[in-house]
A and B are shown apart, each in its own frame.
Chain A
Amino acid sequence: MKLLIKGGRIVDPASGRDEVGDVFISDGKISGKKEKADQTIDAKGLVVAPGLIDLSARLREPGYEYKATLESEMDAAVAGGVTSLACPPDTDPPLDEPGLVDMLRRRAKVLARARVYPVGALTVKLAGERLTEMAELAEAGCVAFSQANAPLADTQVLWRAMQYAATFGFPVWLRTEDRSLAHGGVAHDGEVATRLGLPGIPAFAETIALGTLLQLVRATGTRVHVCRLSTAVAVEMIRAAKKEGLPVSCDVGIHHVHLSEMDLGYYDSHCRLEPPLRSQRDRDALAAGLADGTVDCAVSDHTPVDEDQKQMPFAEAEPGATGLELLLPLLLKWGAARKLPLAKTLARVTSDAARILGVQSGRIEAGLPADLVLFDPQQNWRVAPEMLRSQGKNTPFLGYELAGRVRKTIVAGNVVYDASGSA
């Protein structure tokens, strides 16, 4: 099967290429030479970019099928232009056994949409006590190890887990939050939480744990990816750590680049997120850090939650927001606000994410997998439940007008999503 994508604006963040041209695909790979195509896609007026790589998307399987199914969320992924995604281990049961990981990968493969990269649990049941069989899990397909939203309380266990992971060269992905400082909190400990009477999580709950983690990186040499930064101070700490030469990278949830505690309004439970939305100063520092590369990637942190779990008093509502289909337009909005070239904007969800995930995709280059997204950067659309394929309709952006709509998504040379309905 040979495919020709004709006349699109080719944007390849890795090489900085941004020009109108044709892309040839042969046997699922980008082809270096012009070939006679079996099928031609007219990409006039569209951007042709590497498919998005999302380092955090919850597919809710196994265990939470009433919130979402693998099928609905894989549909959402490709509708959002996401061709590869890493899924955190906080399923039920958690991804702490090779059998579960294997089953998830098989099920995802059968659906033949986005590529799924499971992140294994660092400790059994994510309970923070006993290490998982990391080597076995890696063999089953885990690309990294994580505690998801259950940060380790015991620093001894954290230290040992990092040592063990470093032994095999496995990367560890951790969100940093001091559990006792965050205990009971549901919002940023600041003006808004004080006014609304919501129990707060201080900013230093994140940075104290980050300080501990960075010291352990110095001690163990473990490759660490810090997930979901939420504070300005954490951005500064990562900047210094990188300057020092520590093997650390980090990401930010796309919501935290745009929203702050002010958006809680009158207890909008769609703004109940983990970590919490913080001050405007924090938000600005995250957006700036993402621009200057201190923050390597933006992620959707996709978390489908059913409406019943959101129609609750703020503190009781389940945290999380749907995000796979909003990642691209929200990233474009960030890039436009900072006047970044499109290639640089897209790098944060393509080539940079590929580097952290350790995969070949994320670039348009001869011989590499043909994972591509074709989108119209100008097309405006209003976020509404019926516009989302994800089973989760929970987003603080409901009712917003956003620019950037995916037209086609291609994985390994196959069109897996077509907005015109033919895929």
Chain B
Amino acid sequence: MPRSSPHNPQLNANGELQHLLSIEGLPREILVQILDTAEPFAGVTEREVKKVPLMRGKSVFNLFFEASTRTRTTFEIAAKRLSADVINLNVAVSSQTKGESLLDTVANLSAMQADVFVVRHGSSGAPYLIARHVKPHEHVINAGDGRHAHPTQGLLDLYTIRHYKKDFTRLTVAIVGDVLHSRVARSLIHGLTTLGVPEVRVIGPQTLLPAGVESLGVRVFHDMRSGLKDCDVVVMLRLQNERMNGALLPSAQEFFKHYGLTADKLALAKPDAIVMHPGPMNRGVEIDSSVADGPHSVILPQVTFGIAVRMAVMSIVASN
């Protein structure tokens, strides 16, 4: 049955970023605006006084329905460097266990005068539900929902790639490992295709690639060596412990043998290839220590850029 396509819930009536829920559906101009805005913020983080007053008097609520230290901390730092007040709520262990519904929790916090909600939730799509119910002046930033999206991670990956490679339109990027469960992979794939990367590859065993993944605009490789050939960027994904032994994979050892990144395999990529990882890493499972700490690795700069990118996203939505 034909249906008018629903209004893009991320954009306001002027086509500006109202919420950041997913990279999918965002026009190229907005992605570039975020990356450009992040550039000077990367400088702020290196200054002695690491603060700008862009969000003074605004409140950022970190609403984490799923435990996370790293992502929550980077959002907290980003908000503080913008001079916002930050309130951290670890909802995973408070109201939800008392049976309060997701929307009731949000309504309560909204009554405490929030400007930005940073939301992480175990269920894909939860930030969309929240975005539909917040007040017009409130903004929702998705900090990871189920397997769906992790847009600020995707953006910081894009920022990192742009920083080292400048031009997206001549790159070959490989994403390796557990794409099936990865919100990071989905967000990055949408970002790369939107910014005109001509070849995005995903590499993994069939059990870790979702049905119809080609429809996202990627080439599928099951053999890592052929998949890495002549790549400019290699993005390794984290393999969760609980998925290492079972019906998806027989063992971490066998996974490492076929899909772990070693210096030997990396040699098949371009000589100036960069290696990325969203962290936290499993050394010896998806990546060998010599590569993680080696000259191609930009894993730690990713973390630094992540703060600048999150500052950019927060300051943009808060000003729209």
Mark A residues whose CB is within 8 Å of B. Answer: 189-191, 193-200, 202, 258-259, 262-263, 265-268, 308, 311-316
Contacts and interface: CB of A to CB of B under 8 A. Distances in A.
Contact of A190 (B1, B6, B212): B212
Nearest to B183: A197
Given A258-B1, A266-B128, A313-B129, A197 B212 contact: no
B288 interface: no
B111 interface: no
B146 A197 contact: yes
A263 B3 contact: yes
Given A194-B213, A198-B146, 17 more contacts: A189-B211, A194-B215, A194-B216, A195-B24, A195-B216, A196-B125, A197-B124, A197-B146, A197-B148, A197-B149, A198-B147, A202-B211, A259-B1, A267-B125, A312-B102, A312-B129, A313-B124
20 contacts: A190-B212, A193-B210, A193-B211, A194-B215, A194-B216, A195-B216, A196-B148, A198-B146, A202-B211, A259-B1, A263-B1, A263-B3, A266-B9, A267-B124, A308-B101, A313-B126, A313-B129, A313-B146, A314-B123, A316-B123
Given A195-B216, A196-B124, A311 B211 contact: no
A197 B103 contact: no
Contacts, number: 81
Majority-rule SS of B interface residues? loop
Query: Of residues A191, A194, A308, A312, which shows the largest number of chain B Cβ atoms within 10 Å of its Cβ?
Result: A194
A190 B213 CA distance: 9
B277 interface: no
A315 B146 contact: yes
Contacts of B6: 265-266, 268
Interface of B: 1, 3, 5-6, 9, 24, 101-103, 121, 123-126, 128-129, 145-149, 183, 186, 210-213, 215-216
A314 B125 contact: yes
A312 B104 CA distance: 11
B113 to A, nearest CB: 23
Contact of B124 (A191, A268, A314): A314
Nearest to A337: B1
Contact of A313 (B24, B125, B211, B213): B125
7 closest residue pairs by CB, A with B: A197-B148, A267-B125, A313-B123, A197-B147, A197-B124, A313-B126, A194-B210
A195 B129 contact: no
Contacts of B216: 194-195
A203 B1 CA distance: 21
A311 B103 CA distance: 8
Contact of B186 (A195, A202, A262): A195
Query: Of residues B1, B102, B124, B146, which shows the largest number of chain A Cβ atoms within 10 Å of its Cβ?
Result: B1
B92 to A, nearest CB: 14
A309 to B, nearest CB: 10
Contacts of A196: 124-125, 148
A185 to B, nearest CB: 11
B44 to A, nearest CB: 33
B67 to A, nearest CB: 17
Contacts of B1: 258-259, 263
A291 B1 CA distance: 17
B275 to A, nearest CB: 25
A196 B149 CA distance: 8
Query: Of residues B125, B145, B147, B212, which shows the largest number of chain A Cβ atoms within 10 Å of its Cβ?
Result: B125
A145 B103 CA distance: 39
A311 B101 contact: yes
Contacts of A191: 211-212, 215
Contacts of B121: 313
A259 B1 CA distance: 6
A200 B210 CA distance: 9
A313 B123 CA distance: 6
A312 B105 CA distance: 12
Query: Of residues B5, B129, B213, which shows the largest number of chain A Cβ atoms within 10 Å of its Cβ?
Result: B129
Contacts of B103: 311
